[in-house]
Amino acid sequence: MTIELRFTREFSQQSPKEQKREFAQYLSDAVSGAVVRLKKKKLDYDLDLMQEDFERIVQAWVG
């Protein structure tokens, strides 16, 4: 599975705080997409808990 993020010029012109918030949203969206795809494979893994943990970590990082 590959995830590619591309940032716009507008992104680079934002303040570091705004960039961090937007980047966190990109990461959250990527993890959500990955969870949807992994659930289809019916893995024996608590993907919902993984996503919740990730969201909690990202929110602590963003502040």
Answer whether residue 32 is part of any domain: yes
Answer whether residue 4 is part of any domain: no
Burial of 38 (0-12, 13-18, 19+ CB in 10 A): middle
Tell me how crowded residue 2 is: count the other CB atoms within 10 A of its CB.
3
Answer whether residue 51 is part of any domain: yes
Report how far residue 43's alpha carbon sits from residue 21's, in angstroms, rounded to the nearest whole number.
31
Answer whether residue 8 is part of any domain: no
Q: Into how many domains does the chain fold?
A: 1
Answer whether residue 5 is part of any domain: no
Q: Greatest CA separation found in the chain? A: 43
Considering the entire predicted model, what is its pTM?
0.80
Name the region of 33 (left: φ>0; alpha: ψ -120 to 50; beta: rest): alpha
Task: For 7-41, write each residue's pLDDT tens digit.
Answer: 899 999 999 999 999 999 999 999 999 999 999 99
**Domain residues for 22?**
16-62
Answer whether residue 11 is part of any domain: no
Answer whether residue 10 is part of any domain: no
Answer whether residue 35 is part of any domain: yes
